[in-house]
């Protein structure tokens, strides 16, 4: 289950992918009970593969399972998100520092080109924040790849990535942080191009901290409204 897992092999893998998609897009609400029989029927498969898929999603931290009581979609409360962003700051900062010495010139150039396309997209359709989010995640994932650390790529790519997408989807309606984010991305790429790992790490950590502050304010507003 990397960025996209379109190729189909076993029913359990297909179910896991479809469920993950439904969860991150909010089609399945946070905390919602996941009925095995119903889901199996909806996906046109038996309960066996579906149960395996649930075990898989549990490992991805997208669902929480309680023995003899079923599985529920995870709920991203403020504390959970705070923890997530703190861990991301450490991991992505590390990825950035290493990537500065490990990425090839070509890869850095591609990263820069990605930001160009990204900027283009923002100009064309100002409001489409969602596209920005996906592009942003691509950006972060490419840097993780640049670290050449498989474990880091797995952690950031599969588990945290999904939770992050989930969080993004929830907050994408109101967020308008594309401008400063792009600017920060450009700074990071510049630091990478200069092979300045220390600076790249600092910039990435700031970038993530900024994102967290933005999210946190939004949550506060939500809570105040409710």
Partner DNA sequence: TTATGCCATATTGTCGACAAAACGGGGTTC
Partner DNA sequence: GAACCCCGTTTTGTCGACAATATGGCATAA
Closest alpha carbon to 21 in 83, 97, 89, 73: 73
Q: Is 2 in the site for its own copies (CB under 8 A)?
A: no
Q: Quick check: 18 binds its own copies (CB under 8 A)?
A: no
C-alpha to C-alpha distances, 1 to 8, 18, 37, 181, 225, nearest whole angstrom:
11, 11, 24, 27, 36
From its own copies, DNA, none, interface partner of 33 (C-beta below 5 to 8 A by class)? DNA
Give burial (CB, 10 Å; 0-12/13-18/19+) of 150: exposed
**198 binds, options DNA, its own copies, none, Cβ within 5 to 8 A by partner type:** none
Q: What does 219 interact with, of DNA, its own copies, none (CB < 5 to 8 A by kind)?
A: none
Pick from 19, 73, 152, 199: which binds its own copies (CB under 8 A)?
A: 152
CB 108 within 8 A of CB 193: yes
The sheet carrying 33-34 orders its strands as 33-34, 70-73, 63-66
6/67 with CB nearer its own copies: 67
Question: Residue 79 interacts with its own copies (CB under 8 A)?
Answer: yes
Nearer to DNA, 56 or 184 (CB): 56
Query: Which residue number, 69 or 151, has a Cβ lying nearer to DNA?
Result: 69
If the CB atoms of residues 43 and 141 are measured against DNA, the closer one turns out to be: 43
């Amino acid at each position: 289950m990397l960025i996209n897992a379109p190729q189909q092999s076993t029913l359990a893998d297909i179910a896991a992918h479809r469920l993950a998609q439904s969860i991150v897009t909010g089609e399945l609400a946070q905390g919602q009970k996941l009925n095995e029989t119903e889901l199996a029927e909806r996906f046109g498969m038996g309960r066996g593969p579906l149960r395996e898929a649930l075990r898989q999603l549990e490992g991805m931290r997208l669902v929480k399972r309680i023995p003899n009581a079923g599985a529920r979609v995870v709920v991203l409360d403020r504390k959970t998100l705070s923890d997530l962003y703190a861990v991301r700051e450490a991991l992505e900062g590390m990825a950035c520092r290493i990537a500065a010495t490990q990425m090839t010139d070509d890869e850095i150039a591609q990263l820069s080109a990605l930001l160009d396309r990204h900027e283009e997209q923002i100009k064309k359709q100002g409001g489409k924040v969602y596209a920005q989010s996906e592009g942003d995640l691509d950006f972060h994932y490419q840097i993780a790849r640049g670290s050449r650390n498989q474990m880091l790529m797995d952690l950031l790519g599969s588990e945290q990535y999904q939770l992050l997408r989930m969080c993004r989807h929830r907050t994408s309606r109101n967020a308008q942080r594309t401008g400063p984010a792009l600017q920060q991305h450009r700074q990071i790429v510049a630091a990478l191009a200069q092979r300045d790992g220390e600076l790249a790490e600092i910039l990435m950590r700031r970038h993530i901290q900024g994102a967290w502050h933005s999210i946190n304010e939004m949550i506060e507003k939500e809570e105040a409204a409710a």
